[in-house]
Amino acid sequence: MITRDRIVQTFLDLVAIDSPSGEEDRIAAELEHRLRALGLQAAQDAAGNVLARLEGTGEPVLLSAHMDTVEPGRGIRPTWDGPDIIRSDGTTILGADNKAGCAVILEVIQSLLEAGGPHRPVEVAISRGEEVGLIGAANMDYSRITARVAIVIDSGGPPSSIQGQAPYHYTYDIEVHGRSAHAGLEPEKGIPAITIAAEIVSGLPQGRLDPETTGNVGVIRGGLVRNAVPDSCLVQGELRSMVQERAETLATRVAVHLDEVRRRHPGARIEGAVRLAYPGYRLEPDDPAVRLLYPVLRSLGFEPNPHPVGGGTDGNVFRGHGIASVVIGRGGYNQHTREEYLVIPEMLDCARVVEACLRAP
């Protein structure tokens, strides 16, 4: 049975462990310890993701969350707002994104074990580095995952709030290497990397390109001092689109643009390419994850509410590995802000929905 006091205490225990992206060792060890204490085969893979398995009957289901948090996320002090809401104290985030997802997974497994009875095999994947580019999922040891369906517990709102569509996401890192020279004495001997980078940036897709497509240049970094022709400059950006063909077209456009700038500046060395960070998806009625989740939601009195989102989750990466994934809400709101809060009844509903999915024939 899903227990309110226990899942809340688990959540509070987890948010007490600082785990900003890149500093997940302590929380990973704690999660591995808790899963082992429940009797699961649990270990970290080479990338530091926590993977575990609970045996059962039938087709396995992967439960996924991530252990890292955004900044400011150190020394979190949760506060109560009435009996059902936990907030940040306003100096940090709360960490419901995604310690609430981790707490749901631990509670569901404990409830399954206490109640007994048949359930599907459960595989667990709690990733590192989700908040900084889905790094853990991208480097996960998929040889240890057999499930072809995943429930990713990493969205805001109640469990009926479902990420029904997510974008195809391309990224680029462009390095311009020119030649330095004294800016006042002999600038003609230099090849100004920043000027060439500016020419590159001026031709990159940026902003809202259509209702389903965006582009952004997020980083420009170069030069050392004001009186030297800069010999290097870095440009980093991204492209997102709900439409695969549109995303691919933009990626090609960026590559062609880089080639054109290279031809205009043969003395410079321009390195960089556009790469697919993760594939997008649109949930369809015959999707295996939809066929598992939607009947369970309706049986518990929830109407599925799929909606598009502009960002990616580990579910995008899983789908790239052939795992049909659905991302559901676990009661958090105002994610990535100091105003973040968690609605406890919705976290409990999430746990009940996930457990019912694991009990489904």
Q: Which is it for the CA torsion 3, 4, 8, 13, positive or negative? A: negative
Distance CA 349, CA 51 (A): 24
**154 assigned to active site:** no
Per residue of the chain (361 residues), what is the pLDDT tens digit?
A: 999 999 999 999 999 999 999 999 999 999 999 999 999 999 999 999 999 999 999 999 999 999 999 999 999 999 999 999 999 999 999 999 999 999 999 999 999 999 999 999 999 999 999 999 999 999 999 999 999 999 999 999 999 999 999 999 999 999 999 999 999 999 999 999 999 999 999 999 999 999 999 999 999 999 999 999 999 999 999 999 999 999 999 999 999 999 999 999 999 999 999 999 999 999 999 999 999 999 999 999 999 999 999 989 999 999 999 999 999 999 999 999 999 999 999 999 999 999 999 999 8
**Its pTM surpasses 0.85:** yes
CB atoms within 10 A of CB 26: 12
Q: Which one of 32, 107, 130, 154 is the catalytic residue?
A: 130
- 59 annotated active-site: no
For the record, the structure tokens of 31 come out as 């999660």
Quick one: which of 30, 17, 106 has its CA closest to 65? Answer: 106
**Of the residues 24, 30, 32, 68, which is catalytic?**
68
Exposure string over 275-305, b if 16+ CB within 10 A, otherwise e: eebbbbbebeeebebbebbbebbeeeebebe
Whole-angstrom CA distances from 35 to 40, 95, 102, 105 are 6, 20, 11, 10
Answer positive or negative: Cα dihedral of 305, 311, 316, 320. Answer: positive
Contact, 128 vs 68, CB < 8 A?
A: yes
| DSSP structural state of residue 132 | G
pLDDT digits (tens, 9 = 90+) for 213-261: 999 999 999 999 999 999 999 999 999 999 999 999 999 999 999 999 9
| Strand (E) or helix (H) holding 320 | helix 314-320
SS3 of 317, please?
helix
Hey, how many other C-beta atoms are within 10 angstroms of the C-beta on 264? 10
Amino acid occupying residue 281: Y
The domain 168-278 is placed in CATH, from the list 3.30.365.10, 1.20.1050.10, 3.30.300.30, 3.30.70.360, at 3.30.70.360
H or E segment and range at residue 350:
helix 344-359
Specify the length of the chain in residues: 361
- What DSSP string runs through 196-217? HHHHHHHTS--EEEETTEEEEE
Record the tokens describing residue 79, joined without a space.
Answer: 């506060």
What pLDDT does residue 152 have? 98
Share of the chain above pLDDT 70, in %: 100
The rounded distance, in Å, linking the Cα atoms of 95 and 159 is 18
- The pairing of strands 41-44 and 181-182 is unpaired
CATH of domain 4-166+280-359: 3.40.630.10
Sequential DSSP letters for 218-242: EEEEE-S-TTEE--EEEEEEEEEES
Q: What was the pLDDT predicted at 361?
A: 84
Do the domains at 4-166+280-359 and 168-278 have one common CATH topology? no
Each domain of the chain, given as residue ranges in start order, spans: 4-166+280-359, 168-278
The rounded distance, in Å, linking the Cα atoms of 283 and 306 is 8
DSSP-assigned letter for residue 175: E
